[in-house]
Amino acid sequence: MARPEKHSLTLAGHRTSVSLEPEFWAAFRAIADYKGMTINALAAEIDADRGIERGLASAIRVYVLRHHMGQG
């Protein structure tokens, strides 16, 4: 895998940066497209569901993995 890439997302009107490997960004965008959502909207949904002990980047990675395993 390539090195993580930092991208800005907007969650509840606030900008935040998330670093993910390019493969995770591609899968995350594909899931958002499949659901008819923007990546900001999907990230906000994931952010609202994650616990305080898990960072947003980790929560997105787990979401992508669960989706591709048929659990999401």
What's the structural domain count of the chain? 1
Q: What is the DSSP string of the chain?
A: -PPPEEEEEEETTEEEEEEE-HHHHHHHHHHHHHHT--HHHHHHHHHHHS-TTS-HHHHHHHHHHHHHTT--
Average pLDDT along the chain: 93
Q: Which domain range does residue 26 map to?
A: 5-68
The predicted pLDDT at position 12 comes to 86
Which residues of the chain are modeled with pLDDT < 50?
none
CATH code of the domain containing 31: 1.10.3990.20
User: Which of these, 71, 55, 63, lies nearest to 28 by C-alpha position?
Assistant: 63
CA dihedral 25, 28, 34, 39 (to 10 degrees): -90
